[in-house]
Amino acid sequence: MEWSYKIGTIYGIPLRLHITFPMLIIAYAALFGYEYGLMAAFRGSILILLLFACVVLHELAHSKQAQRYGVKVRDVTLLPIGGVSNMEHIPEDPQQELRIAIAGPAISFVIGIVLLMINLAAGLPVFDFNFEKIATSSSYIFVYLAWINIFLAFFNLLPAFPMDGGRVIRAYLAQRMNYIKATHIAATIGKIFAIIFGIVGFVINPILIFIAFFVYLGASSEEQSVMVGESLKGLRVKDVMNAQCVTIPAETSLLALVEKIFHGSCRGVILVTEEDQYVGLASQENILSAIHEHGLDIEVGKIAKRDLPTVSPEDRLDDIYRKMQRDQQRAYAVTDREELVGIISLEDLGRAYSLVAALRSEKE
Ligand code: ZN
């Protein structure tokens, strides 16, 4: 996530804070302080910090469960509208997805109920509180936190895919129909909820409008990614790779390379070799930005991206698609027993997907 900073690591998971988050603390402190004085400003900041500690616990519950199923969690990011667990992939086993989705709301609910009981035992009127009470008495912070956690548990369980409740719906449907169809239905419900959030947010609370955006974009992109991934299943790298790949010696100048590109003998991502050994990739974007920065005389070997993973002709295409998304990489060299045999790019995957999708719609 852009504009976020790592503040620590828990269970091997980097915890990141979005830059707008400190602003939220300042805003709350100012809001409380302006009305009720300095101590209230302090309580306002403590309230937000505790609230986000609860959000971290919610996200860590998802992440711990995901790690149990061998899913790598890249990070947990705290945004002003809540937390996001950034997982490398979502398990396709519906039971696993279900357990990961439920873990967060379950923890929020437990925290809320425990805090509520402590407040009741302490004799605080848990149903009678407002911002003035929170600002003027520290104990009410915990009454507020109790209710917020219970709210978080239920709000996240709304069936607004990719929110937790939406994942529960997808997992339920995926046990009864194919994965693409289950995702499509869950994503459609998610988009309808996003529109409702947007409208309600307009009237009640602008934060909901942000959440609406997240839900809508999240539903679209995850549906797309499932459609492509599922369609590519059964295909292998060797089925779609480009075996007539162009290799260029590392000492070639960008000027000579650009000439080749103009004459059409080179296009797409170029494989760079040193003494006939593959060493790295140079994409059109690479080349253009290098020309901008260093001019045309620099050698392509100096600007090539090196130490990239290579793939095998037998690798599954759906795995390669996920790998590209994960690594934000548009192409890989294909090697067979150390020998360069081709190149596979996002464009090749796109072509394969269009073909499979066309065949499928023909059948339906
Ligand atoms: Zn959650």
pLDDT band at 326, cuts 50/70/90? confident
From 59, 222, 223, 230, active-site residue: 59
Tokens of 320: 């390669």
Span 177-185, average pLDDT: 93
Q: What is the mean pLDDT of residues 304-312?
A: 87
**Do 86 and 92 touch, CB atoms closer than 8 A?**
no
What's the CATH number for 237-363? Answer: 3.10.580.10
Average pLDDT value for residue range 202-213: 88
Distance 163 CA to ligand 1 centre (A): 7
Report yes or no: 171 and 97 within 8 Å, Cβ to Cβ. Answer: yes
Give distance in angstroms: CA of 51 to centre of ligand 1.
14
8 Å CB contact between 243 and 218: no
The answer to whether residue 21 scores a pLDDT higher than 70 is: yes
Distance 112 CA to ligand 1 centre (A): 15
% of residues, the chain, pLDDT over 70: 98
- Say yes or no to pLDDT of 133 above 80: no
CA–centroid distance, 179 to ligand 1, in Å, is: 21
Rounded Cα gap, residues 1 and 76, in angstroms: 10
What are the tokens at 120? 């009741």
Q: Across residues 114-131, what is the average pLDDT?
A: 84
User: Could you please report the per-residue DSSP string of 240-308?
Assistant: H-BSS--EEETT-BHHHHHHHHHTTS--SSEEEEETTEEEEEE-HHHHHHHHHHH-SSSBHHHHSEES-
pTM for the structure as a whole: 0.80
Ligand 1 centroid from CA 164, angstroms = 5
- What residues does each domain of the chain span? 4-232, 237-363
Catalytic site includes residue 88: no
Pairing outcome for strands 270-274 and 247-249: parallel
User: Mean pLDDT across the stretch 84-101?
Assistant: 89
Angle at CA of residue 220, ends 216 and 221, nearest 5°: 120
